[in-house]
Amino acid sequence: MTTAMESLKESKIVDITVDNLASRYTFGDMLGEGRFSRVFSGTNISSGAAVALKGIDISTLEDEEAVDALNKEVTALRRAYEAERTHVVRLHEVIETPEQLYLVLDCVEGSELFELVEQGPLAEPVVRTLMRQLVSALAALHGRGVAHCDVKPENLMVNSKEGQASTSSTLTIIDFGYAALLDASRPANQLQGLAGSPEYAAPEVLAWLEDDNGALTRGWGGRARLGAGSLVGGGGAQREAGRFWRLAGGRDTLGAGVGWGAGVGGGAGVS
Asked if 230 and 127 count as a contact pair (C-beta separation under 8 A), the reply is: no
Q: Could you say which of 106, 150, 175, 252 is catalytic?
A: 150
Catalytic residue check, 29: no
* CA separation, residue 157 to residues 78, 171, 193 (Å): 18, 6, 27
d(CA 178, CA 262): 16
Q: Catalytic residues, which ones? A: 150
